[in-house]
Amino acid sequence: MGVRLAARPFARFREVAEAGPLEIGGRSVAASVSWTLVAWVPLGAHVWLLTWAVGGDALGSVGPAVGAYALAWTLGLLVVFAPAGLGVREVVLVVALAPVVDAGAALVVAVLSRLVMTVADVGWAGLSLLLSPGPPKGGSGDGEEGSGPVRGASVGDPERPSPRARTGPGSEREPE
């Protein structure tokens, strides 16, 4: 019921796009929740480990640390003028971790969390570059055949004109 109610504003867009009625089954919702947990558990765990490392109670800081990061991340996303929630996440973490650790330790957690997330972002970006296929060979990459330079031909080479070489009346060469 709740999913259908939340999806109601998008029904008109689906009608315009002729996508048909929105059908969300229990299996799709379960998969979505599972993938969300797979993403959020390590995010919360990293703040909990940092909180524990600066003197927070091992078990008593789990909930506040995980909740603090979720709140900090969400508010950082909503404050659109702060790139990647810069400053917002840190302030929220310091305030939210105040019941668990002192302010100095909470600030250390916030700064280290930002550092950990930045290193992770750069690492994932680098990995994606390494695993991504390079640009298509022999073209400009726009998918048009003959849009790039001809391999082995130099500019002005009369033996192998470029695909865009001018041919016809008034040109130096007649079409072959």
Domain span at residue 96? 54-129
| Inside any domain, residue 13 | no
| Inside any domain, residue 80 | yes
Report d(CA 58, CA 66) in Å as an integer: 13
| Inside any domain, residue 42 | no
Specify whether the CB–CB gap between 63 and 109 falls below 8 A. Answer: no
| Inside any domain, residue 150 | no
Tens of pLDDT, residues 26-77: 999 999 999 999 999 999 999 999 999 999 999 999 999 999 999 999 999 9
| Inside any domain, residue 98 | yes
- Kindly report the pTM of this predicted structure: 0.62
**HSE, side-chain direction, 13 A CA sphere, residue 149:** 7
Task: Work out how many domains the chain is built from and give that number.
Answer: 1
Using only the alpha carbons of the chain, give its radius of gyration: 28
DSSP state at residue 1: -
| Inside any domain, residue 5 | no
Helix (H) / strand (E) element for 34: namely helix 26-53
By percentage, how much of the chain surpasses pLDDT 90?
59
**CA angle, corner 96, sides to 35 and 109, nearest 5?**
80
